Amino acid sequence: MSTRAIYKLLIILGALVGAFFLYRYFFVPSDGGAETPGLEAVGGLSGLSGAEAAADDEFIRLLERLQGVELNSDLFASPAWNSLVNFRVELVPEDKGRRNPFAPTGFDPVASTTANGAR
**Does the pLDDT of residue 46 top 80, yes or no?**
no
Give pLDDT, residue 42: 55
By residue range, what is the domain housing residue 11? 1-27
Kindly state the average pLDDT of the residues 66-72. 84
Whether 62 is in a domain gets the answer no
- Number of structural domains (the chain) is 1
Distances (CA, A) of 74 to 34, 78, 82, 83, 93: 45, 6, 12, 15, 38
Q: For residue 109, tell me if it sits in a domain.
A: no
Q: Decide: 32 and 45 in contact? Cβ < 8 Å.
A: no
More confident residue, 89 or 34: 89
Read off the pLDDT of each residue in 43-62 and give the average, rounded to a whole number: 69
Domain contains 101: no
Would residue 79 count as lying in a domain?
no
pLDDT of residue 19: 94
Handedness of CA 57, 63, 67, 68 (dihedral sign): positive
pLDDT of residue 32: 58
Q: Considering the domain boundaries, does residue 107 fall inside one?
A: no
The confidence score (pLDDT) of residue 34 equals 55
